[in-house]
């Protein structure tokens, strides 16, 4: 059974840092692209970052230069280092497994973790 379990969320002051982790099990972690997707309370889903099987990384402009995604295949783990946090980063952060069976345009997220809440507030 595929499982993704996030941890590391919490309350942090503006300008602070936080590192999220996602423990994966039930599949060959190293063979899949992995993503972080966030959701502010009462709002929609926003893609935050991606890491490919070769370690290539991708970010939207809203977090580029502040967030760093990484993976440790030997530990079946995904990470998100978040620096210079802002109130607008407050959200539940989900890790998700990406699938692109027909090429990059066909991306979808077939498994999601339960999410971890990050609150940025003084």
Partner 1 sequence: DIQMTQSPSTLSASVGDRVTITCRASQSISSWLAWYQQKPGKAPKLLIYKASSLESGVPSRFSGSGSGTEFTLTISSLQPDDFATYYCQQSLGFGQGTKVEIK
Residues near partner 1 (CB under 8 A)? 44-47, 50, 58, 60, 94, 99, 102, 104-110, 112-115
Which of 72, 110 has the CB closer to partner 1? 110
DSSP string, 95-106: EEEEE-BTBGGG
Which of 65, 103 has the CB closer to partner 1? 103
Least separation, in Å, of the C-beta of 31 and partner 1? 18
Least separation, in Å, of the C-beta of 49 and partner 1? 10
Long-range pairs of 23-27 with CB within 8 A, sequence gap ≥ 24: 23/76, 23/77, 24/76, 24/77, 24/78, 24/95, 24/97, 25/76, 26/1, 26/2, 27/2, 27/97
Q: Residue 120 contacts by C-beta under 8 Å, 6 or more apart in sequence?
A: 12, 13, 14, 16, 85, 86, 87, 88, 89, 90
Least separation, in Å, of the C-beta of 122 and partner 1? 26
Which of 42, 65 has the CB closer to partner 1? 42
Least separation, in Å, of the C-beta of 53 and partner 1? 17
Which of 13, 114 has the CB closer to partner 1? 114
């Amino acid at each position: 059974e595929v499982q993704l379990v996030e941890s590391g969320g919490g309350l942090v002051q503006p300008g602070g840092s936080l590192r999220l982790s996602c423990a994966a099990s039930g599949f060959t972690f190293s063979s899949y692209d992995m993503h972080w997707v966030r959701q502010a309370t009462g709002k929609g889903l926003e893609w935050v970052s991606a890491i490919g099987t070769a370690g290539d990384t991708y970010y939207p402009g809203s977090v580029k230069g502040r967030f760093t995604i990484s993976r440790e295949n030997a530990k079946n783990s995904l990470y998100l280092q978040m620096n210079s946090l802002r109130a607008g980063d407050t959200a539940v952060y989900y890790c998700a497994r990406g699938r692109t069976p027909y090429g990059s345009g066909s991306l979808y997220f077939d498994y999601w973790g339960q999410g971890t809440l990050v609150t940025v507030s003084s």
